[in-house]
Amino acid sequence: MPIRITRTDEVASVLLVAFAAGVYLVSESFPSGVAGTPGPALFPRFIVGTIAGLAALQFVNAVLLEGTAERSVTRDDVVRFIVPAAFLVGYAGLLPVMGFLLTTVGFLAVVMFYSGVRDPRVGPTLAIGISIVLQNVFVGFLRVPLPEGPLGLGDLVTLF
C-alpha cells in the first residue's frame, strides 16, 4: 500500500538547506589555509553552498507552481533507499577499523553486486582498480591521510 506524500519539493528543499547548514557548521572546525590560501573547508563549503542555492531555487519553483507535487512511496522505494544507506553506514563504521583500501574495495564490490554487476571478473576488478586510483589521488596527490588499517596496504599501492 503506497503512502501519498504532498509538498515533497518543499520538504526536500528545506531538508537540503538544513543539511547544507549542518555541513557548513561542521566545516568551521577545519583548519584555515596557510598565508591566505584556501583551507580544507573551501571545497565542502562550495559544494553545500551550491546545494543550498539549488534547494532554494527548487523551493521557490515549487511555491510558485500552481500544482502541488505529490508522490507515492511504496515499500520497494523504501527498500531501495534503506539498503544503500545501510551499505554507507557499514562502510563508515568499517573504515577506521579495516582501512581505506580494504573497506573501499569491499564496499564497491558489494554495491556493484547489489546494482546488478554479476560478472565475477568485472565487479572485483573495478572495485580494486577504483580503490587504488582513489588511494593514489588522495594520499599521493592531495596528501590527504587515509586510515591504513591492520595490513597497511595503502603504502604498497601508492605510486607517488
Spell out the long-range contacts of 26-33 with Cβ–Cβ below 8 A and sequence spacing 24 or more: none
Task: Quote the CA–CA distance of 24 and 46 in Å, as a whole number.
Answer: 9
Tell me the per-residue pLDDT of 27-75, one tens digit each, with 9 for 90 and over. Answer: 888 887 777 777 788 888 999 999 999 999 999 998 887 666 677 889 9
pLDDT at 67: 64
Tell me the per-residue pLDDT of 120-133, one tens digit each, with 9 for 90 and over. Answer: 999 999 999 999 99
State the pTM of this model: 0.69
Q: In the structure grid, which three cell numbers stand for residue 146, read together?
A: 587515509
